[in-house]
Amino acid sequence: MNPPVFTVNVGNTNVSLALVRTSVEARCGVEDTGSVSVARRGSWPTRAVLDDDPAARAAFLAALAVEPDVPVHVGCVVAAAAPVLARWTASAGRPARFVTHADLPLRVDVPAPERVGVDRLLNCAAAWRRFHRGCLVVDLGTAVTYDLVVAPGVFLGGVIAPGLETLSYALSARTALPYVPPEPTEVVLGRDTPACLRAGLWFGFLGQLEAVVARVMKDDRLDAARPAPPLTLLTGGAAPLVSPHLSFPHEVLPDLTHEGLALA
């Protein structure tokens, strides 16, 4: 078992902290992820970090203090949050390592690797280390990202689309329509405005997932990976909600980003 790592995933909406323990096994000369244990240690709104909120800072540092000698790895997609977290951890004598694309066992085959969200690359690095085969990682958060990694650990690019909650808020923000919490429904033809909105949001979002995944699977660059198609992996906050309603085969790995941070 490798030494544990505190992993901090800074997303657009929330910051989550976890204590991750991993083991690495050598199989046929290739390092594989063995067992993975992810213990969530707290979550805070990203806004609280940006505001340098004293209560959030105290709670964050208290969670770190439980394991005083464990290194801290941060993946951050909100640039303004990085200096705040750096101050927080340094003040407690726990300087953090902010992971970039250069820290990952992944070849990023796009013109500007440094401009790809590090969470997307962390997901792909963890997926490749786990399975050593092509993977399409779908991260369902504030945005939905679809990212493709193929042999021998090459990130080919991806798709970015609005997340389920984002779509729901957008309608109420840009129209006189009410906000409707996104939730599963079996009713396609609504008989009042909330039911119509709920159907449009839910089935439109499922349709987005089905269509994008199907189109990625037909990408010409996957020909070399035939006959085995990439595995489809779901992660992110909405993954457990939508998983039972999808027609394509997939696995749900809710802590993939934290796993990637631990392996960086």
Q: Residue 110: which of 221, 32, 36 has the closest Cα?
A: 221
Query: How far is the CA of 197 from the CAs of 2, 95, 237, 241, in angstroms?
Result: 48, 46, 21, 18
Active site residues per annotation: 119
CA 75 – CA 85 distance, rounded (Å): 11
Could you tell me whether strands 143-150 and 154-162 are parallel, antiparallel, or unpaired per DSSP bridges? antiparallel
Question: Alpha carbon of 204 to those of 84, 166, 225: distances in Å?
Answer: 37, 13, 30
Half-sphere exposure of 168 (CA within 13 A, CB side): 21
> Please, which residues have CB within 8 angstroms of residue 29's CB and are 6 or more apart in sequence?
none
Which tokens is 217 given? Answer: 């699977």
d(CA 242, CA 260): 23
* Inter-residue contact 65 to 92 (CB < 8 Å): yes
Count of beta carbons in the 10 Å neighbourhood of residue 14: 17
Evaluate whether 45 touches 71 at the Cβ level (below 8 Å). no
Q: How far is CA 93 from the centre of its chain?
A: 28
